[in-house]
Amino acid sequence: MQFVQKEYNVTVEIKKSKFITYLFPYEKFNDVMEKLKNEHPKARHFVYAYRYLNEFEQIVENSSDDGEPKGTSGKPSLAVMAGMDIINSGVIIVRYFGGIKLGTGGLIRAYGDAVNEVLNSATLVEYKKLIEKKLIFEYSYLSKVEYLLEKYDIIIVKKVFEIDVVFFIQASKEQLEKLKLELDRKCIIEETKFEKK
């Protein structure tokens, strides 16, 4: 599974119709839609599709034809995203009608091509399920632990400095295995559940 971390856009012209396609992180969906409707007040359609993982690691997806003939725009856009295993991302296609009707098949191809173009222009990041852990160690290991966490690109969610140092971290299974190999045995890794703020 893959996702994007920033916004991308590509414009495709087919038989005088303009398809301006925006790809972005899913959590920005409402903001991007509002921005596009303000930037393109004369556009005929704002077709969208999105896919994201919910808290149970299930893929939730939705799409809209926004006035295009049923099944000719939102579903083909969603199908392209699903085919490339895109998650936690959304796509909005702004269409300006060029005066020539494309027909059902033409619309399906046009929207599919528009989404393919923007996905091909994007930098896609591989999704890894992150595991939450608590790392407990003495102050004398602080610089070594920080170095290892940075080396393996492990996220530090929270740092607590008390009798010992406690880091709440998020890492993939592979990252944790590499970290364990290099950590001193006096450093303890424990299970945890912490609030994300």
Give the tens place of pLDDT for each residue, 135-179.
Answer: 999 999 999 999 999 998 888 889 999 999 999 998 888 889 999
Of 12 and 185, more confident: 12
What is the distance between the alpha carbons of residues 36 and 55, in angstroms, rounded to a whole number?
Answer: 29
What is the distance between the alpha carbons of residues 52 and 121, in angstroms, rounded to a whole number?
Answer: 20
Of 28 and 131, more confident: 28
User: Which two structure tokens, joined as six digits, stand for 158?
Assistant: 């929270």
The predicted pLDDT at position 98 comes to 84
Fold of 2-126: Ribosomal Protein S5; domain 2 (3.30.230)
Class of domain 131-191: alpha beta
The predicted pLDDT at position 5 comes to 86
What is the distance between the alpha carbons of residues 17 and 68, in angstroms, rounded to a whole number?
Answer: 13
Quick: pLDDT tens for 81-93. 999 999 999 999 9
Question: DSSP states of 146-191 as a string?
Answer: HHHHHHTT-EEEEEEESSSEEEEEEE-HHHHHHHHHHS-TTSEEEE
Average pLDDT, the chain: 90
pLDDT band at 189 (very low <50, low <70, confident <90, very high): confident
pLDDT at 195 over 70: no
Domain chopping of the chain, boundaries: 2-126, 131-191
The predicted pLDDT at position 193 comes to 65
Quick: pLDDT tens for 7-51. 999 999 989 989 999 999 999 999 999 999 999 999 989 999 999
The predicted pLDDT at position 171 comes to 87
Taking a C-beta distance cutoff of 8 angstroms, is the pair 193, 134 a contact? no
131-191 and 2-126 share a CATH fold: no
